[in-house]
């Protein structure tokens, strides 16, 4: 997988960029210009902001910083600086109109391909940014992350369906494996140094000593979560962290976002369509506080980030950390629900071929999984290529999510990939699984 052949690197970078742009085009061509410029939720940017921001980042970090080119339109930089204007204010900025934004992003991409064609991927004498095509990989991952953000905007948008996709395969027979898996105690390698397109926050590889623990073999389902709802989980303060309880009271929460009760049954809105909440699907659109409250109600807890990564990467047979739960091979459709091929998670227990050595399924794809951990740097962290990607978010304001959702592309999905968000956030494609300490007699 870790190739150094320049032509293979060039082809991989071109493919990642083209895949991302096809998705961006789909997400921005399926609604009219008015809807592109409108704000569908104060939580989100107008779609046309994401579109031009994708182009602007590519211009700043690939064309200017890496290739040393002159700015095409320096005057628009502040408009598309995510730190300068909160999302709620972005519709009032003098943004590029949809046609202009499309043209700008296409112009930048054309120049990026010129840079790619001429890039020397010879290992010796190349900067870290061009080595292994990292700069192109980073740009493709950035675009794909904004594609997921745009998909969230589509989910929040009112009105009929603008996007459709086939459903995942139903399970041939209900998953009847064990409910939880035992991950043995002992050292494991967390993070990565070798993964060529890993971002700064995934680096470097380092050893962690993790005591043995049990973890759910599948994400928590809607039917399991519904029990918590029906048994009054949202009315009992004892399950909730103080700020979570305040959130429940302030907004009168009683179920995950997009759920509503009608005639004794729970319905949910999903990309413009109402449907009964599917019992076997992983629960979606819960905040960290809800995930944490459910886990406490169930007599369990959220896994820590290091536990999650050990469950996803540790091979007890070799003691090695793998790139993915199934091994080192890149994701394929029979192993994980990724890339917006479907507009929902697959039933819990799907993707037997994606199972980890200890028997844990759906760690990659389907739903982002909340962990108990704050977003913090690993020992030896170095901000790269700029502090605004990860470093400014370290501290304690953000919780880590792992694994990736159905809306994540394979280029931004691996056992080491880290996502983060505020613990109140629920419009994201977030779910979770639970864990517990292993009994002392099971200690390795
Ligand atoms: C890693 C998903 C939290 O969307 O804010 C996009 C990714 N960084 N542009 C985000 C990102 C800069 C980031 N997350
Ligand atoms: Fe961005």
Q: Give me the interface pTM, i.e. the ipTM.
A: 0.98
Contact 169, 346 (CB under 8 A): yes
Distance 56 CA to ligand 2 centre (A): 9
- Average pLDDT, stretch 237-259? 98
Q: What are phi and psi of 275, to 5 degrees?
A: -150, 155
What tokens were used for 113? Answer: 């391909």
33-65 pLDDT, tens per residue? Answer: 999 999 999 999 999 999 999 999 999 999 999
Which ligand has the nearest atom to the CA of 388? 1
Output the residue whose Cα is nearest ligand 1's atom 13: 145
Bridge-based pairing of strands 213-216 and 180-183 is antiparallel
pLDDT score at 442: 52
Q: Which of 291-305, 318-332, 395-409, 429-443 has the lowest mean pLDDT?
A: 429-443
pLDDT in tens, 119-134: 988 766 567 667 789 9
* Mean pLDDT within 213-237: 98
Residue 203 CA to residue 95 CA, distance in Å, equals 36
CA neighbours within 13 Å on the CB side: how many for 328? 8
pTM for this entry: 0.97
Ligand 1 atom 12 nearest Cα: 389
pLDDT band at 440; cut points 50, 70, 90: low
User: Would you place residue 5 in the very low, low, confident or very high pLDDT band (cuts 50, 70, 90)?
Assistant: confident
Task: At 295, list the tokens.
Answer: 């886990």
Atom of ligand 1 nearest to the CA of 398: 3
Cα(first)–Cα(last) distance of the chain, in Å? 32
| 89 annotated as ligand-binding | yes
Q: Which ligand is nearest to the CA of 144?
A: 1
Q: How far is the CA of 442 from the centre of ligand 1 (A)?
A: 39
The two structure tokens encoding residue 172: 């041939």
The mean pLDDT value for 392-399 works out to 96
Q: What is the pLDDT of residue 3?
A: 77
**Mutation to probe ligand 1, out of 57, 138, 145, 392 (largest number of atoms < 8 A from CB):** 145
pLDDT value, residue 239: 98
Ligand 1 site residues, Cβ closer than 6 angstroms: 142, 145-146, 149, 419-420
User: Is 214 marked within a binding site?
Assistant: no
Per-residue model confidence (pLDDT) at position 1: 55
pLDDT score at 296:
98
């Amino acid at each position: 997988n870790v190739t150094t052949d320049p032509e293979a690197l060039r082809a991989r970078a071109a493919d990642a960029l083209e895949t991302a742009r096809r998705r961006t085009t789909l997400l921005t061509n399926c609604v009219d210009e008015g809807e592109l410029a409108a704000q569908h939720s104060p939580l989100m940017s107008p779609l046309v902001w994401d579109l031009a921001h994708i182009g602007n980042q590519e211009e700043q970090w690939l064309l200017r910083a890496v290739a040393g080119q002159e700015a095409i339109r320096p005057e628009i930089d502040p408009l598309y600086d995510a730190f300068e204007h909160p999302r709620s204010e972005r519709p009032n900025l003098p943004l590029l109109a949809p046609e202009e934004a499309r043209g700008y992003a296409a112009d930048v991409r054309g120049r990026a391909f010129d840079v790619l064609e001429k890039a020397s991927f010879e290992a010796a004498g190349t900067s870290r940014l061009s080595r292994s095509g990292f700069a192109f990989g980073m740009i493709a991952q950035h675009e794909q992350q904004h594609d997921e953000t745009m998909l969230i905007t589509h989910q929040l948008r009112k009105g009929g369906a603008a996007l459709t996709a086939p459903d995942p395969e139903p399970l041939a027979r209900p998953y009847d494996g064990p409910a939880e898996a035992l991950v043995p105690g002992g050292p494991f390698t967390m993070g990565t140094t070798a993964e060529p397109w890993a971002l700064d926050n995934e680096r470097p590889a380092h050893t962690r000593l993790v005591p043995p623990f049990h973890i759910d073999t599948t994400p928590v389902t809607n039917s399991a979560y519904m029990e918590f709802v029906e048994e009054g989980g949202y009315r009992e303060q004892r399950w909730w962290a103080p700020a979570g309880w305040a959130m429940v009271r302030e907004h009168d929460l009683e179920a995950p976002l997009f759920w509503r009760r009608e005639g004794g049954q729970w319905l949910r809105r999903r990309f413009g369509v109402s449907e009964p909440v599917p019992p076997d699907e992983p629960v979606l659109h819960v905040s960290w506080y809800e995930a944490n409250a459910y886990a406490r109600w169930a007599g369990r807890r959220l896994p820590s980030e290091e536990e999650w990564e050990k469950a996803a990467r540790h091979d007890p047979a070799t003691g090695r950390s793998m790139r993915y739960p199934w091994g080192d091979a890149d994701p394929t459709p029979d192993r994980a629900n990724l890339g917006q091929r479907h507009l929902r998670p697959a039933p819990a227990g799907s993707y037997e071929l994606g199972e980890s050595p200890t028997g844990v399924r759906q760690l990659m794809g389907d739903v982002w999984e909340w962990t108990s951990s704050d977003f913090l740097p690993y020992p030896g962290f170095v901000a790269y290529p700029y502090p605004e990607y990860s470093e400014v978010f370290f501290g304690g304001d953000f919780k880590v999510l792992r694994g990736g959702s159905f809306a994540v592309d394979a280029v931004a999905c691996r056992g080491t990939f880290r996502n983060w968000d505020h613990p109140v956030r629920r419009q994201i494609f977030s779910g979770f699984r639970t864990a517990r300490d292993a009994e002392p007699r099971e200690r390795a």
